Amino acid sequence: MTVDPDALLLEVLDEIPVEYRDRYASLARREYPDRAGLTVELAAYTRMVRQVATFVTALDPDTADRIAATCSRLVERFPRAPQAGLVAALVIYFVEEDEDDEVTGVLGFDDDIQVANAVCRALDAYDLVLPLAR
């Protein structure tokens, strides 16, 4: 069965809160490292979060670990385009600094969880949907 990449991206974007759509959409159009490179990015980011959390008590490294685990499972489960591009965009969305900085932002990782869940739902990976942390 052939999957229309544009339709799949629109399905993800429909699930993402409006304030995060533009950033994710721009990431979904970029080229990404291979699966091994994405795994390295996730590991480096979660290590950094754990280190920063020793100084910033509001930062929740356990939530970062849960998001990273979901990302890792998606990377393994969807190795081919167009799904792989959506997963890669999610990984980069999670690990790159954004307007809602996890360290100083009010929402913490909530935006990352919402984007991860949108990707999970669009890819029928409902078993990987994360609870929204509050």
- Domain span holding position 52: 5-128
Q: Closest Cα partner for 71 from 49, 46, 50, 53?
A: 46
Q: Which two tokens stand for residue 17?
A: 């809160």
In a domain, 134, yes or no: no
Residue 74 falls inside a structural domain? yes
List the end-to-end C-alpha distance of the chain, in Å, as a whole number: 39
Pair 120, 128: CB distance under 8 Å: yes
- 124 in a domain, yes or no? yes
**Residue 17 counted as domain residue:** yes
Decide if pLDDT at 105 tops 60: no
Q: For position 106, what pLDDT does the model report?
A: 43
Residue 20 falls inside a structural domain:
yes
pTM above 0.85, yes or no: yes
If one counts the domains in the chain, the total is: 1
Confidence label for 108 from pLDDT (cuts 50, 70 and 90): confident
